[in-house]
Amino acid sequence: MKELYYLGGVLKLKLFKGFAATALCTAMIVSGVAYSQQADAGPPGHSKAKVENVIFMIPDGYSTSFATNYRIFKGEDTVLDSMLVGMMKTNSADNWVTDSAAAGTAMATGVKTNNGMISVTPDGETVETILEAASDAGKSTGLVATSTITHATPAVFASHVQSRGSETDIALQLVNEIDVLLGGGKANFLPSSLGGNQAERNLLEESLADGYAVAENRNELLALSKKDKKVLGLFADDGMAPELDRDQTNEPSLAEMTDTALQSLSSNKKGFFLMVEGSQIDWAGHANDAAWAMKDSEAFEEAVEEALAFAKKDKKTLVIVAGDHDTGGMSVGGYGEYLAKADILHDVTATGDFMAAELNSDRSNVKAVIKEFTNLDLTDEEAERIKKAPENSTALTINQIVSERAYVGWSTTAHTGVDVPIYAYGPNSSTFSGLLDNTDMPKRIAEAMKIEFGN
């Protein structure tokens, strides 16, 4: 036997006499060298080049079952499929099943805390966030969400409070600290919500005075100049509309907000850190609303496409995508049959909440309403289930029936503790491969950006 070193390993070949064997060995060695050189260079998007910009995208509540059902819904591989690099553990300091505050705190600070707490330790000590570290390094910063911009996930990157419910306190910490803020929650920035010794403050007016360009609807957002380095966009008093119902509003899409944020932040030659949350994937999971979950997953994918287009052109931008936890315990298939039909959700044009609001007082129009917004013909039994449902669970009952038709199962209206996928593209994206803890995320981002960070 003769040994040949090939691609770093040992390939044992029995050499025969003649030209054919020599040619074969030569071809294998040449091929190995070429492959080795290609491997050293790294595939596009996985180089070790310095990262100037980070776009951290969080589809709240998104797990592997959401990813699979969305692929079925779309009918082809998703943009995220080619970016899959690893998995992430999600538990909080005090619970195997985390909430968004604790999960986000870990992903923003590298420190675990108790459920409900925002970027403080379980003892209440303030901890630095990766966004704050990027800002200290001279980079611009931005937060984008379809919830209130003061909701748990955006809040953890730039505020520090004992309770996630302190949204007006969070608003006071965000303004003038973050360059771009886009989402819902306008009520938290107005005098009526600021109470006590803050009663006379109007954060919208203060923001205008401090150089922010302010937008309150889609038209105003799209009319902003690319030269606006500071932008405050608040498009709803509370959370923004679900993607299914957005056509009833003048609110921008998540993709449009992402594009605006990138235009603004990219003017800083030192780079930027941007967090983009697809907030309502989580809300859909809580509601067991499969159609809402798929449409907001679609809206999130469109935002990811905006981020990737920027990163592919820029070549110095790292895009990371990871849900903070699973919501709803969704399954692919169920109800005793080997079937999955998430594609039928294309015919659903409204959320369960919207459909429930369309029912008359005795719910005698239930079949007509469900037919109009889902194209499903309810059985008499299904119609009775909705008619007899308590008022506070009418929407949930509608959603469960639609989910049954699509063979999308649910185990809870709360969170679960399963691991979630990590996706990445750009320089140093391979850093996020393998099974990571949620506390690893900001540490590896800081390493990729070569900035000081540590708690």
Q: Is 415 annotated as a binding residue?
A: yes
Q: Is 374 annotated as a binding residue?
A: no
Contacts of 133 (CB under 8 A, 6+ apart): 446, 451, 452, 453
Choosing from 100, 159, 193, 264, which is the catalytic residue? 100
CA distances in angstroms from 421 to 67, 380, 433, listed in the order given: 9, 40, 10
Q: Is 46 annotated as a binding residue?
A: no
Q: Is 160 annotated as a binding residue?
A: no
**Residue 396 in contact with residue 355, Cβ under 8 Å?**
no
Q: Is the dihedral of CA 208, 214, 216, 220 positive or negative?
A: positive
Strand partners, 184: 148
Question: Strand, helix or coil at 311?
Answer: helix
Q: Is 440 annotated as a binding residue?
A: no
DSSP conformation letters of 337-387: BS---GGGGGG--S-HHHHHHTS-TT-TTHHHHHHHHH-----HHHHHHHH
Q: Is 325 annotated as a binding residue?
A: yes
Strand partners, 226: none
**Residue 293 in contact with residue 326, Cβ under 8 Å?**
no
Q: Is 65 a catalytic residue?
A: no
Task: Tell me the angle at which helices 380-388 and 366-374 cross, rounded to the nearest 10 degrees.
Answer: 110
Strand partners, 86: 422, 434
Q: Is 81 annotated as a binding residue?
A: no
Positions marked active-site: 100
Binding site residues, as ranges? 60, 151, 153, 277, 282, 286, 324-325, 415
Query: Binding site residues for Zn(2+), as ranges?
Result: 60, 282, 286, 324-325, 415
Residues placed in the known binding site for Mg(2+)? 60, 151, 153, 277
